[in-house]
Amino acid sequence: MLKELDPLLHSQLRLGVMSLLISVDSAEFTWLKEKTNSTAGNLSVQLDKLSEAGYISIEKSFKGKKPLTTCRISKKGLKAFEEYVNSLKDYIKT
Amino acid sequence: MSIDKETLTPEQSLDVITSMIRQAKGNMQQGSFYFLLWGWTIVVANLGVYVLIKFTTVENPFLMFLITIVAAIISIVYGIRQGNRIAAPTHLDGIYKWVWIGFGITCFIFWFFGKQIGWQITPVIITMCAVPTFISGSLLKFKPLMFGGVAFWISGALIFLTSFENQFLLAAIAVTLGYLIPGYMLKKSN
């Protein structure tokens, strides 16, 4: 029987963010916004969901006088992403 | 990429993953700045020491190496500024940075305990230069730097066989081949 795909990752924007974050060490909010071509509001909401699930960590600081949000994938997030990709493989095989 | 669709087919999911990974790929950007800064610093210091030993009676020609302190300060300031500018550093950026910092610490230890290794600091450091240079070439997929690394290995071996005063001349040539030429090529390619 096919495993259910993680609903938290099975969304275009959240999956996009996670795919970007596995490729880099950390990423600034503006970079993620640019790469996913999303709005700040929507991205912010989706990042919070990923953060609440413990898939990413969000660090808020300042770059000069401007606020800076930096995101990083967590071990839990990495594991969830791997499982999601493995489930996808099963779906595609069938 | 549109962001409003919440239901994805497995194929669409894979498309999202591959397109995003492709977006982040090649994000690693390292310039030629450090190669040129350190290349010129070491060339000037070594040529200076060589000229002072060969043609003058200056008591301590090795004070020329104090200019490396200036280069170290410039590197730290530049590194902090650049670090703040990178929006999404990759894992390779991290490896790149720590390979060079680790190399810097190793060099400092060799300088500090130069007496214990019979003042053979130049060949030791030139040989050691090969490792981070070669790795950097590999990380950046930039062959001239890998050849630069090989040039350091060969030069290091030759410098061990050279008289003390000529070591500094050879070191300047080694750094020209290992840092400066690949550094300028990297600058041009960027």
Q: Where are the domains of chain B?
A: 31-189
Residues of A with CB under 8 A from a CB of B: 5, 10-13, 15-16, 19-20, 22-28, 30-32, 35-39, 42, 63, 84-85, 88, 91-92
CATH number of A12-93, picked from 2.60.40.1180, 1.10.10.10, 3.40.50.720, 3.40.1280.10: 1.10.10.10
Q: Is the ipTM of this complex over 0.90?
A: no
CA pair distance A11, B16, nearest whole angstrom: 10
Please name which of B109, B156, B112, B159 lies closest in space to residue B131, comparing C-alpha atoms. B156
pLDDT at B128: 97
**8-state DSSP, A64:** T
Tell me, letter by letter, the H, E, C secondary structure of chain B.
Answer: CCCCCCCCCHHHHHHHHHHHHHHHCCCCCCCCHHHHHHHHHHHHHHHHHHHHHHHCCCCCHHHHHHHHHHHHHHHHHHHHHHHHHCCCCCHHHHHHHHHHHHHHHHHHHHHHCHHHHCCCHHHHHHHHHHHHHHHHHHHCCCHHHHHHHHHHHHHHHHHHCCCHHHHHHHHHHHHHHHHHHHHHHHHHHC
pLDDT at B86: 82
pLDDT at B3: 44
Please name which of A51, A61, A59 lies closest in space to residue A18, comparing C-alpha atoms. A51
Instruction: Pick the residue of B11, B13, B25 with the most A CBs within 10 A to test the interface with A by mutation.
Output: B13
Q: Are B187 and B32 in contact (CB under 8 A)?
A: yes
Q: Which chain B positions have a beta carbon within 8 Å of A61's beta carbon?
A: none
Angle between helices B10-24 and A75-93 (to 10 degrees): 130
pLDDT at B168: 97
pLDDT at B1: 47
CA pair distance A18, B17, nearest whole angstrom: 8
If you write DSSP's letter for every residue of A2-56 in order, what string do you get? PPPP-TTT-SHHHHHHHHHHHHSS-EEHHHHHHHHT--HHHHHHHHHHHHHTTSE
Query: CB–CB of B88 and A91 under 8 A?
Result: no
Break chain A into its structural domains and give their ranges.
12-93
Q: Which chain B positions have a beta carbon within 8 Å of A2's beta carbon?
A: none
Per-residue pLDDT of chain B (190 residues; tens, 9 = 90+): 444 455 788 888 999 998 888 877 765 667 899 999 999 999 999 999 999 999 999 999 999 999 999 999 999 999 888 877 888 888 888 899 999 999 999 999 999 999 999 999 999 999 999 999 999 999 888 999 999 999 999 999 999 999 999 999 999 999 999 999 999 999 998 7
Query: CB–CB of B20 and A36 under 8 A?
Result: yes
Angle between helices A29-36 and A40-52 (to 10 degrees): 110
Give residue-wise pLDDT tens across range A55-92.
999 999 988 888 999 999 999 999 999 999 999 888 88
| Rounded mean pLDDT, A34-60 | 96
pLDDT at B8: 82
Span between the terminal Cα atoms of chain B, in Å: 28
